[in-house]
Structure 1
Amino acid sequence: MKHKILDTSKELFLNLGFKSVTMDEIASKLGVSKKTIYKYFENKTELVAAVTEYMFDTVSFGIDTICELKMNPIEEIFSIKRFVMKHLKDEKSSPQYQLQKYYPKIYASLTQKQFDVMQVCVINNLKKGIEIGLYRDNINLEFTSRIYFNGMVGIKNIELFPLTDYSMNTLMNHYLEYHIRGIATEKGLQELKKQLTQK
């Protein structure tokens, strides 16, 4: 039952936002009483924390699986983007914004975990790209991985990039192109063009 609650809550939170969804709506969607949910989660904040942890673990596992496929680094970045978009439903309700505003402690903890995982993933991607000649060999790995993370967080700021003007998928494509053009060799740019045609 706990897994079912997490799954249903995740769907509702992603579609409608963390603040907007009530415990009544979750119970109704599950066809159970609120008491059943409270058996597993003391309150909504505890449920939100568990759902974000669950989403983080699911996405991290998926990214690890993609990295094990040994694609070229640019193809890998776009495959990860497609996987994340599928799982986060194009973030139509801006869940990150609501999480940051209404559950700042959960947001801060999640952001730190995302940073730790992404640092390793991005630095490995950069090293691999340099090795096979897709990225320039004079890039600063630490700086590039941090600026990449900062940009990824930044494009989810709905005050800067209103959802009425940009879909998350469009923003991600623009950002990945921006990132890769800054570090790619001529060979890397050819691979980037190929990936951009696939969306």
Structure 2
Amino acid sequence: MKETILQKATDMFLTLGYKSVTMDDIANEMGISKKTIYLHYANKNELVEASTTSLFITIAEGIDEICTLGYNSIEEIFIIRKFLMKHLNNETASPFFQLQKFFPQTFSALRQKQFEKMHTCMTESIEKGIRDGLYRTDLDVDFTSRIYFTGLTGIKDSDIFPHSVYDINAVTRQFLEYHLRAITTESGQSQLKEVLKKY
């Protein structure tokens, strides 16, 4: 029951937002009493934390699996992006804005874990791209990895990219192209063109 509650809560949080969804909403959706939820989760904060931790683990394991499939470093980024969209309900910004605003400690812990995971993955991906001749050999790998994370999270800032004007998925694709054009070799540029047609 605990895992079922967690899965349902996570689905609802991603669809409607971490603040918007109440414990009553989850109980009603599942056809159980709120008391049953409290048998497994002491309060909403605990449920939100469990939800974000579970989601992070699922995504981290999925990314690790993708990285073993042998794609080149450019296509790999787009495959990971597609995977993230699937598991984050197309990554609408509202749930994570609510998480940041109303559950700041949970958000901060999640962001740190995201950075550590992304930094490790991107460092390995960039090094692979350099070895394969797709990325420039003069890149500062650590800087490039960090600026990638900063850009990817920065484009979700609704003050800079208002959601009424910018579609988050379109902006993310534009950012990926912008980033990759800056670091690819001539061979990498050709590969990027093919990947952009495919995705």
> Into which bin does the TM-score normalised by the smaller protein fall?
over 0.9
The 8 Å contact of residues 15 and 93 in structure 1, kept in 2 or not, is answered as no
The alpha carbon displacement at 1:52 in A equals 0.3
Are 1:166 and 2:166 matched, yes or no?
yes
The alpha carbon displacement at 1:167 in A equals 2.2
| Alpha-carbon distance in structure 1 between the residues aligned to 2:108 and 2:182 | 29
The 8 Å contact of residues 122 and 145 in structure 1, kept in 2 or not, is answered as yes
**DSSP-derived class of the 1:70 partner:** coil
The alpha carbon displacement at 1:93 in A equals 5.2
Q: Kindly report the root-mean-square deviation, in angstroms, between the aligned alpha carbons of the 2 structures.
A: 1.0
1:7-48 deviations in whole A, cap 9, x for unaligned? 111111111111111111111111110011101111101100
Are 1:16 and 2:12 matched, yes or no?
no
TM-score for the superposition, normalised by structure 1: 0.97
What is the aligned partner in structure 1 of residue 116 from structure 2? 116
**DSSP-derived class of the 1:188 partner:** helix
The alpha carbon displacement at 1:53 in A equals 0.3
| Alpha-carbon distance in structure 2 between the residues aligned to 1:96 and 1:198 | 29
Are 1:104 and 2:104 matched, yes or no?
yes
Q: What is the identity percentage for the equivalent residue pairs of Structure 1 and Structure 2?
A: 50
Are 1:137 and 2:119 matched, yes or no?
no
The alpha carbon displacement at 1:194 in A equals 1.2
1:66-119 deviations in whole A, cap 9, x for unaligned? 001011000100000000001111133521111111111001100110111111
Gapped regions of structure 2 (runs ≥ 5):
none
Which residues in structure 2 correspond to 1:8-157 (within 5 Å)?
Answer: 8-92=8-92, 94-157=94-157
Q: How many residues align?
A: 199
Output the amino acid matched with 1:127: E
Single out whichever of 188-197 and 157-166 deviates more from structure 2.
157-166
**DSSP-derived class of the 1:94 partner:** helix
The 8 Å contact of residues 130 and 136 in structure 1, kept in 2 or not, is answered as yes
Gapped regions of structure 1 (runs ≥ 5):
none
| Alpha-carbon distance in structure 2 between the residues aligned to 1:141 and 1:124 | 9
TM-score for the superposition, normalised by structure 2: 0.97
| Alpha-carbon distance in structure 2 between the residues aligned to 1:92 and 1:164 | 12
The 8 Å contact of residues 8 and 26 in structure 2, kept in 1 or not, is answered as yes
The 8 Å contact of residues 93 and 168 in structure 2, kept in 1 or not, is answered as no
Output the amino acid matched with 1:18: Y
What is the aligned partner in structure 1 of residue 192 from structure 2? 192
The alpha carbon displacement at 1:139 in A equals 0.3
